[in-house]
Amino acid sequence: MDTKLLSRLDLLADNTLSVIFERNRLKDLKLDVEKYETNIQKNLSQLKDGIQQLEQQLSEEEQTDTTKDTKVDEDKLIQLQLKVDKLEALLGNQTDPAARDLLLGNNHKKSPRFTPIDTSQMENSQILQLQQRIIDDQDQDLDHLSEAIRRQRELGLMIGDELETHAILIDETEEMVDRTDERLRRAKKKLDYVGRKVKDNKSICIVIALILIFFILVALFR
C-alpha cells in the first residue's frame, strides 16, 4: 500500500478538520461560508478517492502475497475512514444521533460475548485456545473503550477551542462597544458645550438689542 499517499490523505483530513471548524464558527456568526463549503467538499472528494485507491492496492497485495501481514495497513486505513466519517458528521447535523455517536466513538461493533462453555471434555490445548480467545476479546473491548475515551477527549478539546474562540469574539465586541460608548460620551460633552455657548451668545444678543432700542427711544423723544 502506498504509505506516502496514506500520509498525504491523513494530513489532508487534519487540514479539512480545521477548515470545518472555521466554517462552523463563521456559520454561527451568520457570515458567508460558501468558499469554505467548496474547499471542504473538494477535500472530502479527494479523501474518498484516495481511500478507494488504497483499498484497491491493499486488496491486490492480499491476493498476490498471501503471506504478507496487512493488518497494520488495514488498521491505518480504517482510522482514516473514521476520520472522514467524523468530518462529514461535523459538516452535517451534529444533533443527529448517528452523527453524535460517531463523534463520541460509539459506533464500533460490539464484540460477541461467549456463553458459558463446558470445558470438562476439552483438552488442555483447546482450553488454552478458548482462554486466548476470551483474552483477545477482552483486549478488543478495552481498545474500543480506550478509543471512545480518546475521541471524547478530542471532542471536548475541540468544543473547548470553539468556546475559547467565541469568548475572544465576545471580548473584542465588548471592547468595541466600550470604545463606541466613550466616543458617544465625548460627543455629548461637546454638544453640551456648544449648547451652553449658544445660550450665552443669545443672552448677549438680547442685551445688545435692548441697548439699541433704548438709544433709539431716547433719540426719538428728544
Does 96 lie in the same domain as 147?
no
Q: Please provide the average confidence, as pLDDT, over all residues in the chain.
A: 76
- Give the CATH number, domain containing residue 61: 1.20.58
Cα(143)–Cα(137) distance, integer angstroms = 10
pTM: 0.43
Given a cut of 60, whether residue 117 has pLDDT beyond it is no
Given a cut of 60, whether residue 111 has pLDDT beyond it is no
Query: Nearest Cα to 83, choosing from 43, 42, 32?
Result: 43
Does 216 lie in the same domain as 171?
yes
- When comparing pLDDT for 131 and 187, which is higher? 187
Which of 81, 104, 127 finishes a domain? Answer: 104
Decide if 163 is inside a domain. Answer: yes
Q: At what angle do helices 71-91 and 34-64 cross, to 10 degrees?
A: 160
Given a cut of 50, whether residue 96 has pLDDT beyond it is no
- The reported pLDDT for the residue numbered 106 is 47
- The reported pLDDT for the residue numbered 118 is 55
- The reported pLDDT for the residue numbered 109 is 42
DSSP classification of residue 142 = H
Does 86 lie in the same domain as 7?
yes
Query: Nearest Cα to 144, choosing from 73, 78, 87, 89?
Result: 78
Decide if 165 is inside a domain. Answer: yes
Does 12 lie in the same domain as 93?
yes
Q: HSE of 176 in the Cβ direction (CA atoms, 13 Å)? A: 6
Does 205 lie in the same domain as 155?
yes
- The reported pLDDT for the residue numbered 121 is 64
Which of 75, 104, 133 finishes a domain? Answer: 104
Cα(157)–Cα(203) distance, integer angstroms = 69
Decide if 194 is inside a domain. Answer: yes
Decide if 60 is inside a domain. Answer: yes
What letter represents residue 67's amino acid?
Answer: T
Cα(69)–Cα(51) distance, integer angstroms = 19
pLDDT band at 95; cut points 50, 70, 90: very low
Query: In sequence order, what DSSP letters do the residues of 191-222 get, joined into one string?
Result: HHHHHHHHHHHHHHHHHHHHHHHHHHHHHHT-
Which of 85, 104, 123 finishes a domain? Answer: 104
Decide if 123 is inside a domain. Answer: no
Does 20 lie in the same domain as 89?
yes
**pLDDT tens-digit series, residues 167-216:** 888 888 888 888 888 888 888 888 887 777 767 676 777 777 788 887 78
Decide if 94 is inside a domain. Answer: yes
Decide if 124 is inside a domain. Answer: no
Nearby residues of 5 by Cβ (< 8 Å), 6 or more positions away: 50, 53, 54
Given a cut of 70, whether residue 5 has pLDDT beyond it is yes
Does 85 lie in the same domain as 171?
no
Asked if 90 and 24 touch (Cβ cutoff 8 Å), the reply is yes
Task: Give the residue numbers spanning the domain of 98.
Answer: 3-104
**pLDDT tens-digit series, residues 9-25:** 888 888 888 888 888 77
Decide if 133 is inside a domain. Answer: no
Does 19 lie in the same domain as 94?
yes
Q: What's the structural domain count of the chain? A: 2
Query: In sequence order, what DSSP letters do the residues of 37-88 get, joined into one string?
Result: HHHHHHHHHHHHHHHHHHHHHHHHHHHH-TTS--HHHHHHHHHHHHHHHHHH
Asked if 40 and 23 touch (Cβ cutoff 8 Å), the reply is yes
Provide the greatest CA pair distance for the chain. 149
Per-residue pLDDT, averaged over 122-137, amounts to 72
Given a cut of 60, whether residue 138 has pLDDT beyond it is yes
**pLDDT tens-digit series, residues 34-87:** 888 888 888 888 888 988 888 888 887 777 765 666 677 788 888 888 888 888
